[in-house]
């Protein structure tokens, strides 16, 4: 083959490949318009005022297509599938309690995205903002509203390969004081002080006393349930194979996802509830793998997200292992019950 014909082939191929690439980009950008149009049969979303005061409402990130996609929306707690009121604030992850909210947002930069955490007051006004070091995954506010926590996936940038670690931060919403990483806390494992470079924390959940929290600690290839002490700055291991704990409103039980042996590698988790007094585990009636930090609607019911047609759907199941899971709302994620 002559150089001339090789160059001709290359030029032709560049033209074809560029056309294919351009078509893919145009297709994906045209999707914006479709996604901004309301999907037939989807929930009705109208803009309005959402506050974090009062009770009887459920607030979550609306994932339904239409003009209010990814905004915080509120529905009556008794009718979670009903019409939604959109607040105009976009969050990737959200949680709220006692008039304080935490909203984890992406900030679109020219070259790459960065992330931040917004502390919101009851009228969804921004009180404080903090850098989040990676893609946000979990958010929680303490029952009193005095503390907020979030977890981010750090790493995964192009030169670090596909290894990830997590970083969990806790902020005092009254003083603005930030603990950027729980890795600075002293670890007591099986009754002994423990230090490890590979310690990772995620999925913080707070007790009502403004001092105790629970979280996941991963180290040496195992995951632990830890009880943390905000004043003593320590965490103590309680149980193994626990991820994304969620403390019940009465503080007696922890719901969590557990890696169950024999399940496929891409769907390894099942929901369990651990009684903190007897340390007895109860499997819940959800047969699917749940990759979420469950939320207690009340002392008897848990709510969690599973992948759905428009990102994620919310489901509920009995906390005592009985009953059947039930879908309560489509195209929704990151729920918080007010009041």
Partner 1 sequence: MYVADSRASTSAHGAARPAAGRRRAAVAPTVLALGTVSLVTDVSSEMVTAVLPLYLVTGLGLSPLGFGLLDGIYNGFSALVRLVGGHFADRGGGRHKWVAGLGYGISALCKPLLLVAHSLTPLGAVLAADRTGKGLRTAPRDALISLSSTPETRGRAFGVHRAMDTAGALLGPLVAFLILRATVDGYDAVFAVSACVAALGLLVLVLFVPGGRAPAAPGQRPTLRAAVGLLRRRDLRRITVCALLLGLATVSDSFVYLLLQRRLGVPDRWFALLPLGTAAAFLLLAVPLGRLADRVGGWAVFLAGHGALLLAYALLLTSWHGTGLLCLVLALHGGFYAATDGVLMAAASDSVPERLRSSGLAVVQTGQALTRFACSLLFGTAWTVWGDRAALAGAAVALAACAAFSLTLRPARTVTA
Q: Which residues bind partner 1 (CB under 8 A)?
A: 1, 6, 9-10, 13-14, 17-18, 20-21, 24-25, 27-29, 31-32, 35, 92, 106, 108, 110-114, 131-135, 137, 153-166, 180, 195-198, 218, 221, 264-268, 291, 305, 307, 311-312, 333
Least CB distance to partner 1 at residue 200 (A): 8
Q: Which of 301, 304, 307, 274 is nearest to 292 (CA)?
A: 304
Least CB distance to partner 1 at residue 119 (A): 17
Virtual torsion, Cα 85, 203, 226, 263, nearest 10 deg: 110
**Cβ 99 vs Cβ 122: under 8 Å:** yes
**Cβ nearer to partner 1, comparing 20 with 127:** 20
Least CB distance to partner 1 at residue 32 (A): 4
Question: How many Cβ atoms sit within 10 Å of the Cβ of residue 102?
Answer: 28
Least CB distance to partner 1 at residue 146 (A): 23
234's tokens: 């320590």
**Cβ nearer to partner 1, comparing 227 with 257:** 257
Question: How many Cβ atoms sit within 10 Å of the Cβ of residue 200?
Answer: 20
**Cβ 131 vs Cβ 114: under 8 Å:** yes
Least CB distance to partner 1 at residue 59 (A): 19
Residue 39 is classified by DSSP as: P
**Cβ nearer to partner 1, comparing 145 with 256:** 256
**Cβ nearer to partner 1, comparing 253 with 258:** 258
Least CB distance to partner 1 at residue 238 (A): 21
**Cβ 189 vs Cβ 164: under 8 Å:** no
> Do β-strands 186-189 and 234-240 pair in parallel, antiparallel, or remain unpaired?
parallel
Angstrom distance (rounded) from CA 209 to CA 173: 15
Q: Rounded to a whole number, what is the largest CA-CA distance in the chain?
A: 81
**Cβ nearer to partner 1, comparing 122 with 306:** 306
**Cβ nearer to partner 1, comparing 45 with 92:** 92
144's tokens: 């009193």
Least CB distance to partner 1 at residue 207 (A): 24
Phi, psi of 9 (to 5 degrees): -60, -45
68's tokens: 């209010």
Least CB distance to partner 1 at residue 123 (A): 27
**Cβ nearer to partner 1, comparing 86 with 244:** 244
Q: Which of 300, 290, 254, 297 is nearest to 274 (CA)?
A: 254
**Cβ nearer to partner 1, comparing 114 with 252:** 114
326's tokens: 């039930």
20: Cβ–Cβ under 8 A, 6 or more apart, which residues? Answer: none
**Cβ nearer to partner 1, comparing 104 with 317:** 104
Least CB distance to partner 1 at residue 239 (A): 19
29: Cβ–Cβ under 8 A, 6 or more apart, which residues? Answer: none
Q: Identify the H or E element spanning 87.
A: strand 84-90
């Amino acid at each position: 083959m002559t150089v001339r014909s090789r160059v001709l082939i290359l030029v032709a191929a560049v033209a074809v490949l560029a056309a294919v690439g351009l078509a893919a980009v145009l297709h994906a950008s045209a999707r914006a318009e479709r996604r901004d149009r309301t999907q037939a049969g989807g929930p009705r979303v109208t803009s309005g005022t959402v506050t974090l005061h009062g009770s009887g409402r459920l607030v979550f990130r609306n994932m339904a297509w239409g003009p209010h996609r990814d905004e915080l929306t509120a529905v009556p707690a008794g009718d979670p599938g009903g019409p939604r009121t959109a607040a105009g604030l976009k969050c990737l992850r959200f949680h709220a309690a006692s008039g304080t909210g935490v909203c984890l947002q992406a900030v679109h930069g020219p070259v790459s995205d960065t992330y931040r955490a917004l502390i919101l007051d009851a009228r969804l006004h921004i009180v404080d903002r903090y850098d989040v070091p990676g893609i946000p995954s979990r958010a929680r506010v303490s029952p009193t509203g005095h503390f907020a926590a979030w977890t981010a996936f750090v790493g995964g940038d192009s030169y670090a390969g596909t290894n990830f670690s997590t970083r969990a931060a806790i902020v005092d919403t009254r003083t603005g004081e930030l603990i950027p990483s729980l890795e600075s806390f002293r670890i007591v494992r099986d009754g002994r002080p423990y230090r490890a470079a590979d310690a990772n924390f995620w999925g913080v959940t707070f007790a009502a006393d403004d001092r105790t929290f629970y979280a996941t600690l991963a180290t040496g290839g195992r995951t632990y349930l830890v009880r943390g002490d905000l004043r003593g700055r320590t965490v103590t291991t309680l149980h193994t194979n626990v991820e994304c704990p969620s403390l019940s409103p009465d503080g007696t039980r922890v719901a969590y996802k557990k890696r169950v042996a024999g399940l496929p590698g891409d769907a390894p988790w099942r929901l369990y509830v651990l009684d903190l007094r007897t340390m007895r585990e109860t499997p819940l009636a959800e047969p699917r793998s749940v990759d979420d930090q469950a939320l207690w609607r009340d002392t008897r019911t848990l709510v969690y997200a599973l992948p759905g047609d428009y990102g994620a759907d919310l489901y509920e199941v009995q906390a005592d292992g009985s009953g059947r899971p039930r879908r309560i709302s489509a195209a929704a994620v990151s729920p918080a019950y007010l009041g």
